[in-house]
Amino acid sequence: MTLPRKRWLAVGAAATLFLAGCAGGTTGGTTGGTDGGEGKPAAISQADIDKAMKTPTELTFWTWLPDIDKEVALFEKKYPAISVKVVNAGNSQAEYTKLRTALKAGSGAPDVVQLEYQHIPGFAITDSLLDLRPYGAEALKERFVDWAWGQVSGRNGEVWAIPQDTGPMGMLYRKDIFDKHGIQPPKTWDEFAAAARKLHAADPGVYLTNFPTNHNSIWTGLMWQAGVKPFQMKGADQVSVDVAGETSKKLASYWSGLVKEGVVSTDADFSDQWFQALNKGRYATWLTAAWGPLFLSTSAKETRGKWRVAPLPQWTAGEQKSGNWGGSTSAVVKMTKNPIAAAKFAEFLNTDPESARMLTTLQFLYPPTKALLSDPGFVEQKSDFYGGQQVNKVFADISGTVPTDFTWLPFMDQINNDWNETVGKSLADKTDTAAGLDKWQQTITTYAEKQGFKVAR
């Protein structure tokens, strides 16, 4: 799930060169100059758009989504002059590596590429993405939940991609195990800790949850929920890093405490052991994202009908806040020779009503569009795996509780790798996680400074 350090260095060098040459203006940029007012690039005229969409064109689209050709066919039907070649260049990191290679070579990159939210800044800062504002993307903002749109927006208002799916976090729980031990779905983290101790004392073979230490996805999502703002771009060459503040230390104390007590397991997730544990009832909850319910229904078939869904427990009773884990976008690579057609394809794929709905039914993505999140045909679906519960409705409500101000830095691969060696290792070894946070803070700061960034906290 993370990029080896040596692979980042090639991009890091490019970022450093970019920083050296940047005079403090916008990152990235678009064709057409900056006469759109307030430093914005000029808008492309509707006449130019109409002409481009009727001009014979072939686009290349890199994505790891299966069967996406069906949504692509809708676009090709509407715009018969344009054909789209779909290429699976590998899942996430494998695709990013190939993309960086193509960008460095100056050839071979696609017109449109699937990017996860956290990797947008890394490609934007190397001037590899097209700002989609001149192509009408700003007008799409109100169609998406605010926090997803914030993830594709640049520091100066750029629109670097169109949201495709999200992963607001909730709690899947085993109702049968809860009922057997008289446990109610915990609404606060204090209740969650008490339930963890009660359950493991009653049945030492069962843990209330598993907190994996092999990657930081859950940790990051819980930072997001708790209101931590760990990563912020303060300027073209200035960042702030705050992963070891008071709230992060509270997280560290809470989870390392449960781990040291032995009432929460720390198995590597998505491993054979983890899949077997889910099927055998070793974990009574899974803290996961909106894509988790479907994944679980196909990975733990033996537990059909035993699971339910609830929001994450809260730090303060009565609050409703969550974080996000995962999700991706459609971005246009700046070196495309067909920027209008590429931008309109990215827009169509994720906003055309039929295409957007198909993304939920064929690729089973959780939508970022307000239209689908309020559509009875989507949110009122009932799932037998979850006892007939309207799972989509629960996560639609959760999506409305995700804070909007969480952002990323251009070197998230390095940050994620460093978490494994600091915070993750401290949890796995049951050592001082607060010290692990301090070490994570220092390693991120050191790396950022080596890449030419001025670092504040």
412 backbone dihedrals φ, ψ, rounded to 5°: -65, -30
Higher model confidence: residue 449 or residue 31? 449
- pLDDT of residue 86 exceeding 80, the answer is yes
For 376, counting Cβ atoms within 10 Å of its Cβ (0-12 exposed, 13-18 middle, 19+ buried), the class is exposed
- pLDDT of residue 195 exceeding 80, the answer is yes
The radius of gyration of the chain from alpha carbons, rounded to an integer in Å, stands at 22
- pLDDT of residue 15 exceeding 90, the answer is no
Whether residue 432 contacts residue 218, with contact meaning beta carbons closer than 8 Å, is answered with no
Residue that the structure tokens 């809260």 belong to? 314
Check residue 8 and give its pLDDT: 33
pLDDT digits (tens, 9 = 90+) for 291-332: 999 999 999 999 999 999 999 999 999 999 999 999 999 999
pLDDT digits (tens, 9 = 90+) for 127-146: 999 999 999 999 999 999 99
Q: How confident is the model at residue 41 (pLDDT cuts 50, 70, 90)?
A: confident
What average pLDDT does the chain have? 92
Check residue 7 and give its pLDDT: 34
User: What Cα–Cα distance (Å) separates residue 377 from each residue in 289, 290, 293, 360, 374?
Assistant: 21, 17, 18, 11, 9
CA distance 103 to 286: 39
pLDDT digits (tens, 9 = 90+) for 377-401: 999 999 999 999 999 999 999 999 9
- pLDDT of residue 40 exceeding 90, the answer is no
Residue that the structure tokens 């519960």 belong to? 389
Residue that the structure tokens 């001025």 belong to? 454
Check residue 11 and give its pLDDT: 37
- pLDDT of residue 4 exceeding 60, the answer is no
- pLDDT of residue 448 exceeding 60, the answer is yes
Mean pLDDT of 154-160: 95
Could you tell me what percent of the chain has a pLDDT over 90?
90
- pLDDT of residue 39 exceeding 90, the answer is no
- pLDDT of residue 19 exceeding 80, the answer is no
Element (H, E) at 418: helix 412-419
Check residue 6 and give its pLDDT: 34
Check residue 21 and give its pLDDT: 33
By three-state DSSP, how is residue 254 classified?
helix
- pLDDT of residue 9 exceeding 60, the answer is no
For 298, counting Cβ atoms within 10 Å of its Cβ (0-12 exposed, 13-18 middle, 19+ buried), the class is exposed
CA distance 324 to 327: 8
Q: What is the pTM of this model?
A: 0.91
How many other C-beta atoms lie within 10 A of the C-beta of residue 374? 10
Check residue 453 and give its pLDDT: 96
By three-state DSSP, how is residue 213 classified?
coil
User: What Cα–Cα distance (Å) separates residue 221 from each residue in 207, 228, 338, 376, 451?
Assistant: 21, 10, 37, 28, 26
